[in-house]
Amino acid sequence: MSNKYIVKILDAEYINHDVKRFILEKPPGYVFTPGQGTEVAINLPEWNDKFRPFTFTNLVSQNYLELMVKIYNDRSGVTKQLGKTNAGAELIIGDAFGAITYKGPGVFIAGGSGITPFISIFRSLFRANLLKGNRLIYSNKTAEDVILYPELQRMLNGDMLNFFSHENRIGFGLNHIDRNYLIDNIRDFSSYFYLCGPESFVSDLSKILLDLGAKLDSLVVEQ
């Protein structure tokens, strides 16, 4: 990590049952591209060397930084500690990095908190009136796991499909997104595909998309 910045938490709140939003000071001159994130540690003696990657969700033009972090209280790790960390505390962040950047209209496929790199991209495109032509397939275990459902629905205006793997609900799928689901719900496999989520989720869907005709250089995933 080339640079480190100590930033104060300005606000912290849960936005669903296990995702917490943090509003942070923005260091002077700090830049990122929508879709990018940074390494984050908590500025406490026992935590200041434990860095984990999280994605910025705010607009580049805003004078603060925003992170949305899934809190794992069943693990004794960084996110559990972040669940106890609130306004006034300090975090340590590095420079921005990340391979997920917008290349053109396409299909965004997110698993759980893998939606976070897409939030800043969607917000930026929406503000510029350029979001039309993009679609989102968003997979979660249950409806209560969805992050920013009202805002995503408003921005995408009908171009959002929710997939719930652990709910038996009319109109929603079960188990996992598979080949048949993609064939039924994607009209054009020559477009860009943006994928983010658990490693196996991204790997499995990348293989299926390539088999269905997607081009390798049209897959945008975190390397």
From the list 89, 100, 101, the residue with the least C-alpha distance to 20 is 89
122 and 81 in a common domain: no
CA triplet 148, 151, 152: central angle to 5 degrees? 80
Pairing of strands 192-196, 106-111: parallel
Here the CATH number for the domain that contains residue 33 is: 2.40.30.10
What is the tally of structural domains in the chain?
2
Do residues 79 and 183 share a domain?
no
**Nearest Cα residue to 147 out of 214, 86, 57, 12:** 57
Asked whether residue 67 falls in the same domain as residue 44, the answer is yes
**How far apart are the C-alpha atoms of 110 and 21, rounded to whole Å?**
18
pLDDT at 173: 46
User: Are residues 116 and 209 located together in one domain of the fold?
Assistant: yes
> Is 117 domain-assigned?
yes
Closest listed residue to residue 166, CA positions, set 139, 191, 147: 139
The answer as to whether 22 is a domain residue is yes
With left for phi above 0 and alpha for psi between -120 and 50, is residue 24 left, alpha or beta?
A: beta
For residue 100, being part of any structural domain is answered with no
Q: Are 17 and 111 in a shared domain?
A: no
28 and 112 fall within a common domain? no
Q: How far apart are CA 14 and CA 139, in angstroms?
A: 20
The three-class DSSP label of residue 199 is: helix
Please state the separation of Cα 129 from the chain's center in Å.
21
Residue with tokens 């499909």: 161
pLDDT (tens place) for every residue of the chain, 223 residues total: 679 999 999 999 999 999 999 999 999 999 999 999 999 999 999 999 999 999 999 999 999 999 999 999 888 899 999 999 999 999 999 999 998 999 999 999 999 999 999 999 999 999 999 999 999 999 998 888 999 999 999 999 889 999 888 666 555 545 688 999 999 999 889 999 999 999 999 999 999 999 999 999 999 998 6
Helix, strand, or coil (residue 201): helix
Residue 34 domain-assigned?
Answer: yes
Residue 187, in any domain of the structure: yes
The pTM is what? 0.93
Asked whether residue 182 falls in the same domain as residue 212, the answer is yes
Extract the tokens encoding 161. Answer: 């499909």
Examine the domain organization and report whether 112 and 216 are in the same domain. Answer: yes
Q: Is residue 208 part of a domain?
A: yes
User: Domain check: are 114 and 179 in the same one?
Assistant: yes
Q: What gap in Å lies between CA 71 and CA 148, rounded to an integer?
A: 16
| 135/86 same-domain check | no
Where are the alpha helices (H) located in 96-187, listed in sequence order? 116-127, 149-156, 179-185
pLDDT, position 167: 61
Residue 79, number of CB atoms within 10 A of its CB? 17
Output the pLDDT for position 187: 84
**Structure-block tokens of residue 187:** 């009209």
State the residue range of the domain holding 73.
Answer: 4-94
Q: How far apart are CA 123 and CA 54, in angstroms?
A: 17
Q: Are residues 34 and 66 in the same domain?
A: yes
Strands 135-140, 160-164: pairing is: parallel
